[in-house]
Structure 1
Amino acid sequence: MPAHALAEITEDHAAAPLPDYQGGGIVNLMASIAGAFGGDPGLYPLLDALDGARLSAHRNIVLFVIDGLGYEWLKRAGPGSTLFRHTVGPITSVFPSTTASAITTFLTGVAPRQHGMTGWHVYIEALGTVVAVLPFRARTGAPRASTPRWHAPAIFDQTPLPNRIPARSTVFVPKRIAGSAYNEAHRGAGVVRPYRSLPGAVAGLCEALCRGGGRHYAYLYYPDLDKSAHECGIDSPQARRRLAEVDAAYRSLLDGLRGTGTAVIATGDHGFIDIRPEHRIELGEHPALAELMRLPLCGDGRVAYCYVRPGRRRAFERYVGAHLDRQAQLCVSADLIDQGYFGIGPPHPRLAERVGDYTLLMKDRYVIKDWLPGEGRFVHVGVHGGLTREELYVPLAVASV
């Protein structure tokens, strides 16, 4: 790495086909941030792309996480943006490349192998139900069926990153989600600053860091690009307007924090691909397959965990091989754990039960979805969770001000 560079991407990591947990992924970024403050980086190596000594020399570190910002799309949609000009290259998300798994990595500093958040829908055996973990809602088919908040500490059981950092920590999240069970469980020692608008969040962040008073870690989360990409597609005008908003916010951070000795890091939790109607597979169109399963599909549409009835595994394998081989790769879920898809090191004690018997890794741009009676139906144009470059790679933008 050049002596003057705070960050640099090597070709080895840029070519990684799977999540890189050994020095080229978002979990390694979090290890570097913790280590830069003199905290415990944990079991994951530091991010190779960051100069640890130079990062440690900063008084403050800002991590700006843009939900849905993929490297390939940023390169295509915003080549002249401030964000892209400060992007040193791609790093990888986690597996699956989805919000519940990746954001939990940002908030805890460990991969899904440790934190156990394996997708949007997670089967919690102790509760006997499937839970949408971010809104903390049981998947029963009833509209807005909530899960009692007192269950949260038993489910979200990893140490929040602010508890590992010997510095002040402030968490900026939208007001509408700031008080959720998920965010309450993961704030730890951090002070939560709810915001109503992204410019307001940037102003509050700059004010907090310019006030001084010792070293400071600030985490800023922006979810609206993800929302627009799901509803309209990542290549839609709506998504590009969100990118313009994000880029303006990043410029404002650099301008507002100039002279404070702050490293301003921006990245995404995952990228996106757009799909067409023919890429959507409805489980209801395969009743013989649904009959073989004892639970609804878990995980996400791109990575679906299947819980098969006792004694029906061979029948399940035969059906998928005969009817879905072109659209999905059938994997034994335990093999994905053993092969390191979810991370390295000791696994969460409930990891195996949260990924089912089999995993459907959807090929190309296919997704699979089921619906419970009473569930409101929707269509996503943009999707994520898989292992394409568009979904897996996120930008690493770094500036020193």
Structure 2
Amino acid sequence: MTFAQPGGWEVPPSHPGGWPHGPVPLDPSLAPAPRYGTGSLSDLLPAALTGLGLPGHERAFALPPADRVCVFLIDGLGWEVLRAHPSVAPFLTSLLPSSNAGAGKPISVGFPSTTATSLASLGTGLPPAAHGMVGYRVLDPDSGALMNQLRWEPWTEPSRWQPHPTLFVRADGAGVAACQVSAPHFERTPLTRVALSGGTFLGRSDPWERIDEAARRIAEADRTLVYTYYAELDGAGHRFGIDSEEWRAQLSRVDALAQRLAERLPPRAVLYITGDHGMVDVPRTEEARFDFDHDWELRAGVAQLGGEGRARHLYAVPGAAADVHAVWREVLAEDAWVATRDEAVALGWFGPPGTGVEARVGPRIGDVVVAMSGEAAVIASETEPRESALIGMHGSLTPAEQLVPLLEVRT
């Protein structure tokens, strides 16, 4: 079957008799799914709130109780890259062999492994299938436009897009002194509102002042929940790659910041250090960068291209989803797990298998979902020039992107 497009070209037929033009495509059922409910980023705060004595947050993933909890989230800190740089991050590395249950080991983030999705999972304690932040750029079914969930463009009412209360709101309502200490420009962003709001927000531009303020807030009450954040490691990885001196300099700085915070913990406190995703470097070669804007096979039948280079949502022309799925499977072959929307949901990419997705969330997921498996990416050099020029990327299901450390310091 083929179907004509306005430009006069046609989608090539699928190959029911096999894959004569290359390797057999990867089986998406063999992709490593996130550990929702048993060891994912969305389980961290529910376990911490249970330890603070708040009922209703119990899960299979548990952490020892503490009266004062601080979460230091380092954007872009993956498990694999941390373990690969012990001399650059000696303090963080010293926390890896912890014997405490659940700590000192990797946890997974969700899918896609990207900041907006991960922050929503952390702050709400929900998987993407429930909170609805299912990608970097996804379809708003009400407007028909692609919505960038990190930059919140075009504007969409936050409470409509993500209606669930955050765990900071719940903690604050239960008498826990909740606080976020972050860069001032994050205070009023829609992403902060839907993912991290609740309690007190304190803006500090200087990261050392941020760390010191977080330490003060941990000690301010008998029961506290403090969140603080560092973004520059991720930025260095995107611009220069994780195999760069600039990235290593940022990792060294992060290590010093974490040690400073750990040394200032008050009694009866615990510090959890984690990340929102890892990262891989994508070579600047044609073999590693499939350019959607210049590949007629990949463009065929795709009405809108969502997601990001390592995790794509494909919104098909009506009636074209099956052909788009077949073509992308063949073209990407060993470079990606390519699944239909129903397959991705059933396999547990967006939430625990068997739980489905909330009704408002389903249409945001592409008709076809693409998770890159190696070091390649699907870029769009003309329509996404800035993102396409990045060296370090993330978003997929590989351990390098999915696994983040959960490091613990307890007093």
TM-score normalised according to structure 2 size: 0.83
- 1:202–1:249 Cα contact (<8 Å) kept: yes
Deviates more, 1:213-222 or 1:173-182: 173-182
Counterparts of 1:372 and 1:130, CA distance in 2: 16
Among candidates 363, 371, 390, match of residue 380 of structure 1: 390
**Aligned partners of 2:319, 2:260: CA distance in 1, in Å?**
59
Which residue does the alignment assign to 1:29? 44
Contact 1:34 1:41 in 2 (8 A): no
Name the amino acid aligned to 2:358.
Answer: H
Alignment equivalent of 2:368, drawn from 358, 361, 365: 358
1:115 aligns with 2:131: yes
Distance change >3 Å, CA 229–CA 375, structure 1 → 2: closer
Say if 2:112 and 2:395, in contact at 8 Å, map to a contact too.
yes
Alignment-derived partner of residue 47 in structure 1: 61
The 3 A distance-change label for structure 1 pair 286 and 169 is: same
Give the equivalent residue in structure 2 for 1:9. Answer: none
Alignment equivalent of 1:183, drawn from 167, 183, 192 = 192
Report the alpha carbon displacement of residue 21 of structure 1 after superposing the two structures with TM.
Answer: 1.5
Q: Distance in 1 between matches of 2:384 and 2:248?
A: 34
**Is 1:340 matched with 2:348?**
yes
| Equivalent of residue 270 in structure 1, options 273, 277, 283 | 277
Contact 2:293-2:382 at 8 Å conserved across structures: no
Structure 2 equivalent of residue 286 of structure 1:
295
Q: What CA distance in whole angstroms lies between the structure 2 residues aligned with 1:340 and 1:374?
A: 29
Structure 1 equivalent of residue 257 of structure 2: 249
Q: Deviations along 1:20-60, whole A, 9 cap, x unmatched?
A: 11322212222201212223554x72425x33xxx2xx221
Measured against aligned partners, the alpha-carbon deviations of 1:123-171 in whole angstroms (never above 9, x if no partner) come to 1111321111121113xxxxxxxx26xx121112121111222201101
Alignment-mate amino acid for residue 335 of structure 2: Q
Alpha-carbon distance in 2 for matches of 1:46, 1:178:
33
Distance 1:37 1:132 in 2: 35
2: distance between equivalents of 1:112 and 1:337? 11
**DSSP-derived class of the 1:23 partner:** coil
Matches within 5 A, 1:71-90: 71-78=79-86, 81-87=90-96, 88-90=104-106
- Could you say which residue in structure 1 is the equivalent of 2:107? 91
Q: Distance between the aligned counterparts of 2:247 and 2:253, measured in 1?
A: 10
TM-score by length of 1: 0.85
Question: For the Cα contact (< 8 Å) 2:325–2:340, is it kept in 1?
Answer: no
Matched residue pairs, number? 366
Note if contact 1:32-1:41 (Cα within 8 Å) is conserved in structure 2. no
Deviations 1:73-113 (A, max 9, x none): 11111356211212322111112211111111111111111
SS in 1 for 2:324: helix
Q: Does 1:391 align with 2:398?
A: no
Q: Please, which runs of 5 or more residues in structure 2 have no aligned partner?
A: 1-30, 97-103
Counterparts of residues 292-371 of structure 1 (less than 5 Å): 292-295=301-304, 297-344=305-352, 345=355, 347-370=357-380
Tell me the residue number matched to 1:106: 122
Partner of 1:13: none
**Does the CA contact (< 8 Å) of 1:25 and 1:93 recur in 2?**
yes
- 2:106 touches 2:404 (CA, 8 Å); kept in 1? yes
C-alpha deviation, 1:395, in angstroms: 0.8
Residue aligning to 2:169: 163
Q: Which runs of 5+ in 1 are unaligned?
A: 1-15, 139-146
- Change in Cα spacing, 1:126 to 1:40, as seen in structure 2 (3 Å) is farther
Task: Please tell me whether the aligned partners of residues 36 and 43 of structure 2 are also in contact (alpha carbons under 8 angstroms).
Answer: yes
Question: Structure 1 residue runs of 4+, over 3 Å off?
Answer: 185-188, 371-378
Contact 2:116 2:136 in 1 (8 A): yes
CA distance in 2, matches of 1:86, 1:355: 37
Give the fraction of aligned pairs with identical amino acids, expressed as a percent.
25
CA contact (8 A) 2:70 2:225 kept: yes
Larger mean Cα displacement after TM superposition, 266-275 or 186-195: 186-195
- Contact 1:108 1:159 (C-alpha < 8 Å) held by counterparts: yes
1:209–1:260 CA contact under 8 A, matched in 2: no
- SS across alignment from 1:183: helix
Distance in 1, matches of 2:323 and 2:250, equals: 46
1:315 and 1:94, CA in 2 relative to 1: closer, same or farther beyond 3 A? Answer: closer
Distance 2:341 2:117 in 1: 16
Counterpart residue number, 1:141: none
- Would the aligned equivalents of 2:238 and 2:390 in 1 still touch at CA under 8 Å? yes
Which of 63, 67, 76 aligns to 1:68? It is 76
Alpha-carbon deviation of 1:252? 1.0
Distance between the aligned counterparts of 1:374 and 1:246, measured in 2? 30
CA distance in 2, matches of 1:313, 1:105: 29
Deviations 1:249-288 (A, max 9, x none): 111112222x432101101111111110121111012134
Instruction: Trace 1:144-155 onto structure 2 (pairs within 5 A).
Output: 147=155, 151-155=157-161
Give the Cα–Cα distance (whole angstroms) in 1 for the partners of residues 373 and 384 of structure 2.
29
The 1-side partners of 2:194 and 2:109 are apart by 22
Match of 1:289, SS?
helix
Question: 1:30·1:41 contact (CA, 8 Å) conserved in 2?
Answer: no
Residue by residue, what CA displacement relative to the aligned partner does 1:9-29 show, whole Å, maximum 9, x if unpaired?
A: xxxxxxx94311132221222
Aligned-partner SS, 1:193: strand
State which of 189, 196, 212 in structure 2 corresponds to 1:203: 212
